[in-house]
């Protein structure tokens, strides 16, 4: 399936043409991400377009791994976050010296089955992006299973050999940009999840009968369904507009604000829609016999990844205040 | 005659904006109430001289002949500058109906008088027993010689106390098999002994709504517009553009701007809970505007809007209400006080905004009726 997606140009959609991609931008990436959300594709499409290729195309576009990623021959997981002693996200302490990594990384999407890791680490003169092979010495991957059956990797490195790809402040700038891209694409994927969950639910309430009538003939159900539909349409419009604006915007702060707008909306909508979808299915919605539960679980995972709605509303507000103060 | 539709959107917007900014009287900007005609007459004269009273009417009847896209721009600019709509029931409602269904005599007689505001119109649709269920209306009109004789009552008739004429839906066939079938569209002069108008004071203390009582009121038979008993279908045909207009983001956007200055002045943003609620409201407005733009683009491509456009009204009116509720929250102990509050260099009337937001979910087809429409026409739900 990965190869088929690659042949369709999916992974290189947001990579400029002179770097071997389609150069169609995030807006087109968002359309793909919506479709991924609808069909519940298990492949790491969004993390590849947003994070792995997002980092490489900004930092080392000539690296041979670029073409392999675009061609779907390999997948690389990006390891950038770290877990503090209290379990919450913490400042990066993972060290890179003498060609070796020491420390740990958390919440690595696509870690299981990936061919290698793009690791953001610290060295004496600042941040560095390195590549560690999946079978490198001293690398231990702890698998954390998520609600939708996918997994996150917790990595620990003890003198793990890795090759330097880029260094200096540019690494963190590129990382912030790639995270913004991935956040916006995750929002688009959530829109797809919401849309499909709503369609399934709409079909269900048209066919499920109680009191000798389809339950969708009851006004209380109808009005709830309308509210979910409206929320879904607002989310699609808002997220698509945010992605399109990101394509024409160069200021990284403004792009990050737009990504936060998209994710805040998409998470709020997906949470409400997938949870109400379970309620409208009644008892069968609570079983694993029905697809609707998959969408609830996918929404949980995508909401938690890269920040939920409350988190992004905070970022959005802060960015807006800073822009206002700068004017 | 200028062909406005041939202009680029940007040029047209510039021209409309420039005219409003140069000519619209400062003291009438963002009027908090519906004015009587005398209050805005000087503005109406300017608009009339410019030929801009009826942006949607075809040029041959004295309108600007704007297509849907240009019309939207015109209204957006009007709202942006806080230009009062004026006494536009004639232009918005009765004029288009006469243009579409009226006789040549009716067009020749009524249309110029609408444009000049020689006649000022009010809309007689709702009745005490016919609100959301409008087709349930009972006001009777019976033919008597050359006249119709009208008996019954209308309510929520906006500005009837400052109108010279009323256009109304009346029951002309009480025995029709379906209640929608026995309704006709009728014009009548207000200045006659058979008509009595009483104002209704609203929660905000305004008196823009009226009750109108008909006791053997008369109107000539030639004031029937369209066919007898076909009024319902005709009135419905008018609603399609109104449905995007009523869902425009401007009311909520203006309220959000007000909320932001007020909250900043009052230090409400120091509270992280308030910040989050503000961010929610602001994003609700922003994402609604994105959806509105999607429908507006449909119009610009020349497509007809479907019933799904009703979702704009549901979202934006409920959002508008939440924003005005946040304003009260930010006002703290002043949240129950009438009149403007001065905060820094802005003056905000907290309760007036709150009251203004309440009827938006009721008028223009209540939000519950809109949900019924979406449920049936868009989602295809049964019953």
Q: Domain ranges in chain B?
A: 4-86, 121-230, 238-378
- Average pLDDT, rounded, for chain A: 95
Q: Nearest-CA distance from B12 to chain A in Å?
A: 24
pLDDT (0 to 100) of residue A317? 98
Interval B41-53: pLDDT, tens: 999 999 999 999 9
What kind and span of H or E run contains B150?
strand B147-155
Is B314 near chain A, with CB under 8 Å? yes
Question: What is the pLDDT averaged over residues B288-297?
Answer: 93
Residues of A within 8 A of B282 (CB-CB) are 320
Interval A5-54: pLDDT, tens: 888 889 999 999 999 899 999 999 999 999 999 998 767 899 999 999 99
Instruction: For chain A, give the percent of residues with pLDDT over 70.
Output: 100
Size of interface A-B (CB pairs under 8 A): 91
Question: What is the pLDDT averaged over residues A144-156?
Answer: 95
Q: Show me where the domains of chain A are located.
A: 75-168, 172-326
Is A203 near chain B, with CB under 8 Å? no
By Cβ distance, the residue of A221, A241, A313 closest to B280 is A313
For residue A18, what are the contacts with CB-CB under 8 A and spacing of at least 6? none
A63: phi then psi, degrees, rounded to nearest 5:
-65, 135
B303 has pLDDT over 90: no
Q: Nearest-CA distance from A220 to chain B in Å?
A: 10
Beta-carbon separation of A317 and B278 below 8 A: yes
B21 is catalytic: no
For residue B2, what are the contacts with CB-CB under 8 A and spacing of at least 6? none
Phi-psi region of B87 (alpha: psi -120 to 50; beta: other; left: phi over 0): beta
Interval B327-353: pLDDT, tens: 999 999 999 999 889 887 778 889 999
The answer to whether the beta carbons of residues A299 and A145 sit under 8 Å apart is: no
> Which tokens belong to B363?
């008028």
Sign of CA dihedral A108, A112, A117, A122: positive
pLDDT (0 to 100) of residue A43? 74
How many angstroms separate the CA atoms of A41 and A43, rounded?
A: 6
pLDDT (0 to 100) of residue B240? 64
By Cβ distance, the residue of A213, A222, A233 closest to B375 is A222
Q: What are the CA-CA distances from residue A19 to residues A70, A155, B54 (Å)? A: 10, 30, 55
Beta-carbon separation of B315 and A217 below 8 A: no
Interval B231-287: pLDDT, tens: 998 888 776 667 788 898 988 998 999 899 999 999 999 999 999 999 999 999 999
CATH architecture of the domain formed by B238-378: Up-down Bundle (1.20)
Question: What is the pLDDT averaged over residues A90-113?
Answer: 95
By Cβ distance, the residue of A205, A225, A265 closest to B287 is A265
Is A3 near chain B, with CB under 8 Å? no
β-strand A126-133 against A116-123: which pairing, if any?
antiparallel
β-strand A163-167 against A126-133: which pairing, if any?
antiparallel
Is A143 near chain B, with CB under 8 Å? no
The answer to whether the beta carbons of residues B57 and B91 sit under 8 Å apart is: yes
Identify the burial level of B304 via C-beta atoms within 10 angstroms of its C-beta, where 0-12 means exposed, 13-18 middle and 19 or more buried. Answer: exposed
β-strand A116-123 against A76-79: which pairing, if any?
parallel
Residue B299: which pLDDT band, with cuts at 50, 70 and 90?
confident
Coil, helix or strand at residue B127? strand
Beta bridge partners, B143, equal B148
Interval B190-233: pLDDT, tens: 999 999 999 999 998 889 999 999 999 999 999 999 999 999 98
Is B48 near chain A, with CB under 8 Å? no
Beta-carbon separation of A223 and B371 below 8 A: yes
Buried/exposed code over A231-254 (b: 16+ C-beta within 10 A; e: otherwise): bbbbbbbbbbbbbbbbbeeeeeeb
A2 has pLDDT over 80: no
How many angstroms separate the CA atoms of B311 and B290, rounded?
A: 13
Least confident span in A30-39, A157-166, A283-292, B278-287:
A283-292
Residue B25: which pLDDT band, with cuts at 50, 70 and 90?
very high
pLDDT (0 to 100) of residue A219? 97
Is A205 near chain B, with CB under 8 Å? yes
How many angstroms separate the CA atoms of A50 and A63, rounded?
A: 17
B64 has pLDDT over 70: yes
Q: Nearest-CA distance from B273 to chain A in Å?
A: 10
Identify the burial level of B28 via C-beta atoms within 10 angstroms of its C-beta, where 0-12 means exposed, 13-18 middle and 19 or more buried. Answer: middle
pLDDT (0 to 100) of residue A324? 86
Beta bridge partners, A103, equal A157
Interval B169-179: pLDDT, tens: 999 999 999 99
Residues of B within 8 A of A213 (CB-CB) are 382-383
- Opening angle at CA B237, ends B372 and B3, nearest 5: 125
A267 has pLDDT over 80: yes
The answer to whether the beta carbons of residues B313 and B364 sit under 8 Å apart is: yes
> Which tokens belong to B55?
């942006």
The answer to whether the beta carbons of residues B382 and A223 sit under 8 Å apart is: no
Q: How many CB atoms lie within 10 A of CB B56?
A: 20
pLDDT (0 to 100) of residue B241? 65
pLDDT (0 to 100) of residue B66? 92
Residues of B within 8 A of A242 (CB-CB) are 290
Question: What's the fold here for domain B121-230?
Answer: Butyryl-CoA Dehydrogenase, subunit A; domain 2 (2.40.110)
Is A217 near chain B, with CB under 8 Å? yes
Is B308 near chain A, with CB under 8 Å? yes
pLDDT (0 to 100) of residue A210? 97
B373: phi then psi, degrees, rounded to nearest 5:
-65, -50
Q: Nearest-CA distance from B298 to chain A in Å?
A: 13
- Average pLDDT, rounded, for chain B: 93
Buried/exposed code over A135-174 (b: 16+ C-beta within 10 A; e: otherwise): ebeebebeeeebebebbbbbbbbeebbbeebbbeeebeeb
Interval B90-117: pLDDT, tens: 998 899 999 999 999 999 999 999 999 9
Q: What are the CA-CA distances from residue B346 to residues A237, A284, A326, B28, B264 (Å)? A: 33, 55, 22, 17, 11
CATH placement of domain A75-168: 2.40.110.10
Q: Which of A202, A193, A211 is nearest to B374 (CA)?
A: A202
β-strand B147-155 against B209-220: which pairing, if any?
antiparallel
How many angstroms separate the CA atoms of A10 and A32, rounded?
A: 7
By Cβ distance, the residue of B288, B293, B383 closest to A217 is B383
Which CATH number among 2.40.160.60, 1.20.140.10, 3.40.50.740, 3.90.180.10 corresponds to the domain A172-326? 1.20.140.10
H helix intervals, A123-251: 170-207, 219-247
Diameter of chain A measured on Cα atoms: 74
How many angstroms separate the CA atoms of B179 and B176, rounded?
A: 6
């Amino acid at each position: 399936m990965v190869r088929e997606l690659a042949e369709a140009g999916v992974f290189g959609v947001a990579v400029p043409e002179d770097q071997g991609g389609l150069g169609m931008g995030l807006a087109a990436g968002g359309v793909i991400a919506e479709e991924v959300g609808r069909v519940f594709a298990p492949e790491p499409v969004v993390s590849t377009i947003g994070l792995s290729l997002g980092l490489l195309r900004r930092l080392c576009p000539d690296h041979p791994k670029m073409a392999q990623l675009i061609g779907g021959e390999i997948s690389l997981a990006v390891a950038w976050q770290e877990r503090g002693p209290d379990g919450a996200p913490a400042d990066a302490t993972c060290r890179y010296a003498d060609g070796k990594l020491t420390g740990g990384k958390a919440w690595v999407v696509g870690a299981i089955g990936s061919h290698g890791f793009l690791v953001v680490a610290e060295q004496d003169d600042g941040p560095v992006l390195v590549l560690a092979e999946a079978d490198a010495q001293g690398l231990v991957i702890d698998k954390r299973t998520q609600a939708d059956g996918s997994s996150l990797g917790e990595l620990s490195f003890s003198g793990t050999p890795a090759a330097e790809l880029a260094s200096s402040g540019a690494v963190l700038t590129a990382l912030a940009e790639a995270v913004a891209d991935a956040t916006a694409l995750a929002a688009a994927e959530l829109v797809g999840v919401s849309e499909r969950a709503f369609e399934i639910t709409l079909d269900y309430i048209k066919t499920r009968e109680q009191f000798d009538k389809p339950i969708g003939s009851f006004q209380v159900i109808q009005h709830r369904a309308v509210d979910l539909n409206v929320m879904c349409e607002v989310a699609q419009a808002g997220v698509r507009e945010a992605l399109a604006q990101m394509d024409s915007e160069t200021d990284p702060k403004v792009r990050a604000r737009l990504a936060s707008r998209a994710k805040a909306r998409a998470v709020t909508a997906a949470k409400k829609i997938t949870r109400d979808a379970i309620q409208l299915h009644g008892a069968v919605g609570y079983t694993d016999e029905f697809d609707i539960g998959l969408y609830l679980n996918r929404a949980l995972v995508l909401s938690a990844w890269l920040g939920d709605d409350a988190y992004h509303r905070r970022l959005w507000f802060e960015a807006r205040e800073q822009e206002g103060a700068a004017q | 005659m200028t062909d406005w539709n041939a202009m680029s959107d940007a040029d047209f917007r510039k021209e409309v904006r420039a005219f409003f900014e140069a000519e619209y009287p400062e003291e009438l900007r963002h009027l908090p109430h519906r004015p009587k005609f005398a209050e805005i007459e000087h503005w109406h004269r300017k608009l009339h001289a410019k030929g801009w009273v009826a942006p949607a009417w075809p040029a041959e009847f004295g309108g600007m002949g704007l297509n849907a896209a240009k019309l939207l721009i015109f209204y957006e600019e009007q709202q942006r500058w806080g230009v009062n709509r004026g006494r536009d029931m004639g232009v918005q409602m009765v004029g288009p109906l006469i243009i579409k269904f009226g006789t040549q005599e009716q067009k020749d007689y009524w249309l110029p008088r609408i444009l000049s505001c020689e006649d000022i119109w009010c809309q007689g649709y709702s009745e005490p027993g016919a609100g959301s269920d409008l087709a349930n209306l009972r006001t009777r009109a019976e033919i008597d010689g050359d006249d119709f004789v009208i008996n019954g009552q209308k309510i929520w008739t906006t500005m009837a106390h400052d109108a010279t004429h009323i256009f109304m839906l009346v029951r002309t066939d009480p025995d029709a098999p379906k209640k929608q079938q026995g309704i006709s569209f009728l014009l009548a002069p207000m200045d006659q002994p058979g008509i009595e108008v009483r104002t209704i004071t609203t929660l905000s203390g305004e008196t823009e709504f009226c009750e109108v009582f008909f006791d053997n009121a008369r109107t000539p038979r030639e004031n029937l517009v369209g066919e007898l008993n076909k009024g319902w279908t005709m009135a419905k045909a008018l609603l399609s553009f109104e449905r995007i207009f009523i869902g425009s983001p401007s009311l909520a956007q203006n309220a959000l701007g007000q909320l932001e200055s007020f909250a900043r002045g009052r230090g409400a943003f120091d509270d992280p809970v308030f910040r989050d609620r503000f961010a929610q409201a602001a994003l609700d407005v922003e994402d609604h505007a994105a959806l509105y733009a999607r429908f507006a683009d449909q119009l610009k491509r020349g497509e007809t809007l479907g019933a799904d456009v009703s979702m704009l009204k549901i979202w934006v009116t409920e959002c508008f209400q939440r924003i005005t509720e946040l304003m009260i929250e930010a006002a703290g102990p002043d949240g129950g006080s009438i009149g403007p509050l001065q905060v820094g260099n802005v003056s905000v009337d907290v309760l007036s905004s709150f009251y203004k937001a309440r009827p938006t979910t009721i008028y223009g087809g209540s939000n519950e009726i809109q949900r019924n429409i979406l449920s049936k026409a868009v989602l295809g739900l049964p019953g």
